[in-house]
Amino acid sequence: MGNTKKAAAYLRGARPPKKSVRRNRENRMAEIKPFRAVHFTDRAGNLNDLVCPGGFLSEKQRAAFLSRSPYHASHLILPDGTTAEKTMRAWLEEGILVRDMDPGFYLWEDKSAENGIAWKRKGLICLAGSGELHHGTVCPSSMFYPDEARITAARLEMLASGRPRCGFSDGKIQRRIWLINDREMIRALCADFESRRLIPAHPQESGDGEKEALMTALVSLEEPGIREAIEAGKAISPDVAGSFPEPVSGFIMALPD
């Protein structure tokens, strides 16, 4: 079978060839699952006024975000960094948040042309790990995966040709997201990851995949600068990997049933 026919077969759902991946203590075998995401409704307001950067917020940053809206995502992040699940559930009852009816994956894309330099990054938001989701989450953890044959990249590119579910812009970066709930495509994406290992961007956030599933944003190692940085033992940062897309809090959220 020629390369073109092979690629077409993989896009239809065939399994990709198994690859050998460098192993270390922090790598884990990939098991990904769809989930019923929680997200803001129109009642909450403009999405651009509701989300904030993922990761640690200083007291000054948190205070500024809290003042933007009574439904800003920062209200769901407690000072110790954990999630205010009671508030999430109350907002679900009020119709400020809604949970998707069916499980799915979520394709997210960041795009920018700041300072005349155009770039685009894609990621797949899912649950990673064989355990169950135990805690509410307002921002996915980032992990990397190998995709030398760019099989998953081709799938995501095809999916991104459709109409996105929602999006917003902070003036510098345009962020969009697509819901993936087609069963055949979900099975194909799960098969893509069966022989892969995931590498946490921040090992301290990787958790124990056998006990608890994490809402995770998966980014390909084949994105410019990422594989080279990891193999050199460097931290992933904009200086190393160019414009690396850090997930934002409040764009896609997760809450145990």
Nearest alpha carbon to residue 89 among 100, 98, 77, 80: 98
pLDDT at 232: 66
Q: Which one is predicted more confidently, 226 or 124? A: 124
pLDDT tens track for 28-50: 567 999 999 999 999 999 998 89
User: Locate tokens 């996915």: which residue?
Assistant: 140
pLDDT at 158: 94
The C-alpha atoms of residue 21 and residue 253 are separated, in whole angstroms, by 30
Q: Which of 59-68, 95-104, 195-204, 245-254 has the highest mean pLDDT?
A: 95-104
- Residue 207 contacts by C-beta under 8 Å, 6 or more apart in sequence? 129, 141, 214
Q: Reply yes or no on whether the pLDDT at 13 is more than 70.
A: no
pLDDT tens track for 197-247: 888 876 655 555 557 899 999 999 887 667 666 666 655 544 444 444 567
The C-alpha atoms of residue 190 and residue 179 are separated, in whole angstroms, by 15
Structure-token pair, residue 222: 């084949």
Q: What is the residue-averaged pLDDT of the chain?
A: 80
CB 206 within 8 A of CB 141: yes
Amino acid at 47: L
pLDDT at 9: 42
Going 123 to 129 to 133 to 136, the CA torsion angle's sign is negative
Amino acid at 245: P
Q: Reply yes or no on whether the pLDDT at 64 is more than 80.
A: yes
pLDDT at 121: 82
- pLDDT confidence of 185, banded at 50, 70, 90? very high
Q: Is 23 helix (H, G, I), strand (E, B) or coil?
A: coil
Q: Which one is predicted more confidently, 18 or 191? A: 191
Q: Is 223 helix (H, G, I), strand (E, B) or coil?
A: coil
Phi, psi torsion values for 57, nearest 5 degrees: -115, 135
The mean pLDDT of 97-104, rounded to a whole number, is 96
Half-sphere exposure of 118 (CA within 13 A, CB side): 0
User: Locate tokens 């009020």: which residue?
Assistant: 94
Is 80 buried (19+), middle (13-18) or exposed (0-12) by CB count in 10 A? exposed
The C-alpha atoms of residue 124 and residue 137 are separated, in whole angstroms, by 16
CB 100 within 8 A of CB 179: yes
- Residue 63 contacts by C-beta under 8 Å, 6 or more apart in sequence? none
Q: Reply yes or no on whether the pLDDT at 22 is more than 70.
A: no
